[in-house]
Amino acid sequence: MSGKIEARINITGRVQGVGFRPFIYRMAVRNGLLGYVINLGDAGVEIIVEGTEDSVARFLDDIRENAPEVSDIEDIFHKFSPFRGRFDSFIIDKSKISGKVASGIYPPDIGICPECLKDMDDPKGRWCEYPFTACAWCGPRFTSVKALPYDRERTHMHDFPMCKHCEEDYFNPLDRRFDAQGITCKICGPKMSLHDASGASIDARDLFTETAKLLLEGNIIAVKGIGGVHLVSLATQDDVLEEFRRRKGRKNQPFALMSPDIGTIRSFAKFNKVEEGFLKGWKRPIVLLRKRHRLISELVAPGLDTVGVMLPYTGIQTMLFKRLDEPALVMTSGNRSGYPMAITNDAALNELKGLADYFLLHNRDIINRSDDSVLRVIQGSPAFTRRSRGYVPDPIDIPVRKGIGIALGAELRNAAAIGTNGKVFMTQYLGDITSLETAESLEKAVQGMRDLLNITCNPDVMACDLHPDYMTSQMAEVMSQEMDIPLVRSQHHHAHITSVMAENGIKDEEVLGIALDGAGYGADGQIWGGEVLKSTYFGYKRVGQLEYIPMPGGDLCAYYPYRMLI
């Protein structure tokens, strides 16, 4: 028999919003420990336990070995102290709001789990055919939360008090929904609604059956999900896609697809084991795959040998596919040109007027907009075209620990970033920052990330692109003046190279980087096109370049390459 002790255990990493507290509860009870576990405002978890030395040691092993799949433990600190006999049970205590900058990692959105899909198929349960089914291990996270610590009152479930059945599950440590902030059911949860183009609601016995029927008739439908609104149509009919392209004003840009299951994807696209892993994983990105043959319309991705595909990640999408016998649906971000993706019902009905024929919406808020992520697997590793849902706000390690910096990035295909504690937290993908609406979404995204990281003080430094005319550069200038902090202007291609360095975990060494990019404002005031730079994180030497040539209309050439030809 070993003697009794008290232990304080602090865990950092992705440990909030992933069923971690209930997991700790079960491990503590299994090892006969007393005490409590709480979420901290810095995204970490604190545990105080008392018990025998042996059982505390076993408890620590259990935490390391059995942690939930979606969690990611970065560090476990523990400190033993003399036994005091303070507790008579083990409980999950109220969260502690703290003034510290977050050191932990709040989770990205998690695709619906197999257990919840089973619940949706159970005709007797409260979740039968209920599209918002979720549990402690799955569901919206980043898109649902206003601030930390992760508790229901700070999420989009704030407006939906639990019914007595949900409350029972929520407080039952043996239930999968124990302590699940997103718990909801048919009785107490959000509801779907279907509207025509004028916004008038359509009554139907089953809204999903009605929506499926409308899709089969060739309509384009706006469908609200967890990170925004998609525009959805059939992917097999040329005339539907022609009309879709005409309305979106997109002649050749590829549309993304969603397929009901992996076997169906195999019928029109080729993929290897690694790509299959990304398709089926809980992050559910769009993966660019090689096309097989014409099962889907050529107009989905005209002239390309690849097609972007994802699997359903919400109950809403699952229910739609159950009522269709289609190999895939087009599923593209629902935004009017120059606007960010719509996230409210009003925005959907107003901004997507003329784009969508019908609207399948719901009455739950989307707190943080998040487009689908897009990646291609190159030599076994993901290369992102767009890093957003499923990946944000996961940080990337950098070898700079000092201070807090906010970077607003370049103008096109933008994401902002906050650097703190040796990590960079990129915001969700924000698109082109070329209008007031998208500029506003950039400001909101930065503020949202500050809230998640618990950064209430001014940062130490702002960063932006060297290009003086980018809207993002002008915004950074104003913000740095308002906060009275220095502004660093980063050369575009050097920024690309250091980003790739960070993504690949390169520490403090010199690399030879090649940036072949549309255009980037150069240190000599010229527009640079392709550079070979000897780079470190802190500087670069230009050792090779594409020759200078005149660009009629300057940056317009990046939008309209034919200008260069003429």
User: Which residues make up the interface to Zn ion (CB under 5 A)?
Assistant: 113, 116, 135, 138, 163, 166, 185, 187-188, 517
Strands 329-333 and 257-258: antiparallel
**Cβ closer to Zn ion: 135 or 527?**
135
Answer whether 8's CB lies under 8 Å from 56's CB: no
- 293: its two tokens: 């043959």
Give the DSSP H/E element, type plus range, for residue 11. Answer: strand 4-14
Output 118 or 250, the one with its CB closest to Zn ion: 118
Q: For 303-442, where are the E strands, in sequence order?
A: 306-310, 329-333, 358-362, 374-378, 381-386, 396-397, 404-407, 417-420, 423-426
Nearer to Zn ion, 243 or 555 (CB): 555
**31 vs 184, which CB is nearer to Zn ion?**
184
Least CB distance to Zn ion at residue 25 (A): 18
| E strand segments, 294-380 | 306-310, 329-333, 358-362, 374-378
- Give the dihedral of Cα atoms 473, 475, 478, 480; nearest 10 deg: -70
Closest CB to Zn ion among 156 and 248?
156
Cβ neighbours of residue 203 under 8 Å, at least 6 residues apart? none
Measuring CA to CA, which residue among 178, 155, 157, 156 is closest to residue 166? 178
Q: Tokens 């005709």, residue?
A: 123
Rounded Cα–Cα distance for residues 78 and 83 (Å): 15
Instruction: Give me the least distance between CB of 189 and Zn ion, in Å please.
Output: 6
- Shorter beta-carbon distance to Zn ion: residue 55 or 414: 414
User: Min. distance of Cβ 258 from Zn ion in angstroms?
Assistant: 19
The least CB distance from residue 179 to Zn ion, in Å, is 13
Q: For residues 59 and 178, which CB has a smaller minimum distance to Zn ion in the complex?
A: 178
Q: Which is nearer to Zn ion, 116 or 286 (CB)?
A: 116
CA dihedral sign of residues 518, 520, 525, 530: negative
Nearest-approach distance from CB 392 to Zn ion, in angstroms: 19
Tell me how far apart the terminal alpha carbons of the chain are, to the nearest angstrom: 86
CB of 119 to Zn ion, least distance (A): 8
CB 107 within 8 A of CB 141: yes
Q: Determine contact, residues 487/466, Cβ cutoff 8 Å.
A: no
SS3 readout for 182-238: CCCCCCCCCCEEEEECCCCECCCCCHHHHHHHHHHCCCCEEEECCCCEEEEEECCCH
Contact between residue 527 and residue 547 where contact means Cβ atoms under 8 Å apart: no
Among residues 113 and 501, whose Cβ is nearest to Zn ion? Answer: 113
Which pairing describes strands 404-407 and 461-465: parallel, antiparallel, or unpaired? parallel
CB of 136 to Zn ion, least distance (A): 8
Instruction: Report, in Å, the least distance between residue 564 CB and Zn ion.
Output: 17
Compute the least distance from the CB of residue 209 to Zn ion, in Å. 24
- Tell me the closest approach of the beta carbon of residue 137 to Zn ion, in angstroms: 5
Using the minimum distance from each CB to Zn ion, give the nearer residue, 289 or 515.
515
SS (H, E, C) 248-284: HCCCCCCCCEECCCHHHHHCCEECCHHHHHHHHCCCC
CB of residue 538 to Zn ion, shortest distance in Å: 20
Indicate the residue among 166 and 433 with the shorter CB distance to Zn ion. 166
State the nearest-atom distance from the C-beta of 554 to Zn ion, in Å.
16
Which CB, 187 or 543, lies closer to Zn ion?
A: 187
Least Cβ distance, residue 465 to Zn ion (angstroms): 9
Amino acid residing at 105? I
Closest to 140 measured CA to CA, from 355, 352, 369, 349: 369
C-alpha–C-alpha distance, residues 312 and 226, integer Å: 12
Report how far residue 136's alpha carbon sits from residue 143's, in angstroms, rounded to the nearest whole number: 16
Q: Which is nearer to Zn ion, 164 or 294 (CB)?
A: 164
Half-sphere exposure in the Cβ direction for 564 (13 Å, CA) = 14
Residue with tokens 């000599």: 524
Question: In terms of CB distance, is 175 or 517 closer to Zn ion?
Answer: 517
Q: Token pair of 118, please? A: 């089973």
CB of 370 to Zn ion, least distance (A): 19
Distances (CA, A) of 132 to 54, 96, 190, 347, 372: 43, 28, 7, 21, 19
